[in-house]
Structure 1
Amino acid sequence: MRLAIATLTVLLAACSPRVDPQQEAQGLQAFATVEKVFQHPRCSNCHIPGDQPLQFDTQTAHMMGVVRGPKGEGAAGLPCSSCHGEANLPASYGPNAPPGAPHWSLPPPDQKMAWIGVPASELCAMIQDRKRNGDRDLDAMFKHVAEDKLVLWGWAPGGSRAPVPVPHDQFVAAFRTWMDAGAPCPKAAARG
Structure 2
Amino acid sequence: MQKYSVVIVEDHTLLSQAIGNIVDSFDKFKVLYLCKNGKELIDKFSSPKNIPDIVLMDINMPIMNGIETTEWITANHPLVYVLALSIEDDEKTILKMIRVGAKGYLLKDVEKSILEHALIEVMDNGYYHSKNVTNILLKSISGKTDSTTLKENELIFMKFACTEMTYKEIADKMCLSPKTIDGYRDSLFEKLNVKNRIGLAMYAIKNKIYTP
Same fold? TM cut 0.5: no
Higher strand fraction: Structure 1 or Structure 2? 2
**TM-score, reference length from structure 1:** 0.31
**TM-score, reference length from structure 2:** 0.29
Higher relative contact order (CA 8 A, sep 6+): 1
